A = this chain, B = another copy of it.
């Protein structure tokens, strides 16, 4: 199995818990994978489908979303390398939302069959994967709070903080600078705001010196200040010991 991916997966599954045993690592390493490149703005899996595989992000950004009757799109999460965004399909056979790429992606597919076998044989891995889905759920809860209780400015600052911390955790930051190839329209769909209002709010955040964000690259001059502005507390990410200072 693809080495960098394997290491990233193992590192991820060990966050805030005991290290995996040799046997467990081997079991993961021997999972059959299909690596594939996917262009930007493509669906990996769509609402209503019954996928027979899970997807691990190797490179690129993805998002989960639902399309509403009125044509509106609600993005419910962004996904970055190391994430397994449709792990829930292992036990919820029909997708209740879609998963799509934002940028060009490299992804690894793992078929449900061998994965089910793996978790039966290695309950320790099952529990860590379960834990991953529980962290997903925790992030969803935080997003409910975000769209339900915070104003536009705070809401956007919060999402940026989250993305920074998650990217940092997988080594995709350089100081407080990181690739952030999300359009303002996507950010609007994620925060439940109009693009116009997102634009004006971002300008305000920029004017306050909290971010520099141009052409898909974002820098946070003062992380503490941005976290305050976004009412951001990383505990909901359950990355203890692995959170950016």
Contacts and interface: CB of A to CB of B under 8 A. Distances in A.
A68 interface: yes
B137 A91 contact: no
Interface in A68-105: 68-69, 72, 74, 76, 88, 91-94, 96-97
B96 A236 contact: yes
Contact of A88 (B76, B137, B240): B137
B137 A191 contact: no
Contacts of A76: 141, 144-145
Given A88-B138, A123-B123, A68 B231 contact: yes
* Interface majority SS (helix, strand, loop, mixed), chain A: helix
Contacts of A240: 94
B133 A133 contact: yes
A192 interface: yes
A64 B144 CA distance: 12
Contact of A126 (B69, B126, B231): B126
A192 B134 contact: no
B238 A141 contact: no
Chain A interface size range: 35 or more
A123 B74 CA distance: 35
A197 interface: no
Contacts of A236: 96
Contact of A144 (B96, B136, B143): B143
Contacts of A140: 137, 140-141, 143-144
Given A130-B133, A145-B68, A94 B238 contact: yes
29 contacts: A16-B93, A66-B145, A69-B231, A72-B149, A74-B144, A74-B145, A74-B148, A74-B149, A76-B141, A76-B145, A91-B130, A92-B138, A94-B238, A96-B138, A96-B238, A97-B141, A119-B123, A119-B127, A123-B123, A126-B130, A130-B130, A133-B133, A133-B134, A137-B140, A144-B144, A144-B147, A147-B148, A148-B191, A149-B192
Interface of A: 16, 64, 66, 68-69, 72, 74, 76, 88, 91-94, 96-97, 119-120, 123, 126-127, 130-131, 133-138, 140-145, 147-150, 191-192, 231, 235-236, 238, 240
Q: A-B pairs with the 6 shortest C-beta distances?
A: A148-B192, A140-B140, A137-B137, A91-B131, A96-B236, A74-B145
